[in-house]
Amino acid sequence: MATIELTKDNFEQTIVDNDMVIVDFWAEWCGPCKTFAPTFEAESKKHDDIVFAKVDTEVEQELAGYFNIRSIPTLMVFREKVGIYSQPGALPPEALTDLIDQAKALDMEAVHKEIAEQQQAESGSDDHAGHSH
């Protein structure tokens, strides 16, 4: 499958509708981005089960700002609507393959459980407030 362009209009829908999405934040003027593009494209052809998407940070400044993209290229991996990886830098092909294998192997049940526990801790942390010891 070829890579798709993501915009603020279709970004969330793409993340929600697909089990795994790998997003490449890039820009036309960025040398390393251009070097990384063929690697990203080649990898996308190997995986029909993964959506490979690109965000042009010049055009989609809102998205880049939302995700705090400071340097490009930045790769983000989403699985089951959860961002599980985010790192700047162009990866060599074998590192990208390795990252995808690791992302696929990740136990998402454990990840969801961890997120739920974190959210519970954040919202339920006032249980002991007001009790004097």
Distance of alpha carbon 30 from alpha carbon 80, whole angstroms:
30
Q: How big is the chain, counted in residues?
A: 133
Q: Which of 33, 63, 77, 96 is catalytic?
A: 33
pLDDT exceeds cutoff 80 at 129: no
- Tokens 């490449």 belong to 24
Distance of alpha carbon 132 from alpha carbon 110, whole angstroms:
36
Yes or no: domain 4-123 corresponds to CATH 3.90.1300.10: no
Average pLDDT, the chain: 92
Active site residue 30: yes
Q: If pLDDT is split at 50, 70 and 90, which confidence band does 105 have?
A: very high
* Amino acid, res. 93: P
Q: Which of 20, 21, 22, 30 is catalytic?
A: 30
Mean pLDDT calculated for residue range 86-94: 95
Distance of alpha carbon 45 from alpha carbon 3, whole angstroms:
9
- Dihedral, CA atoms, 19, 84, 65, 48, nearest 10 degrees? -30
pTM for the model stands at 0.88
- Tokens 């279709």 belong to 10
Task: Determine the straight-line distance between the first and last CA of the chain, rounded to whole angstroms.
Answer: 61
The SS3 assignment for 85 reads strand
Active site residue 50: no
Mean pLDDT calculated for residue range 76-99: 96
Residue 83 C-beta-side C-alpha neighbours within 13 Å? 9
Distance of alpha carbon 41 from alpha carbon 44, whole angstroms:
5
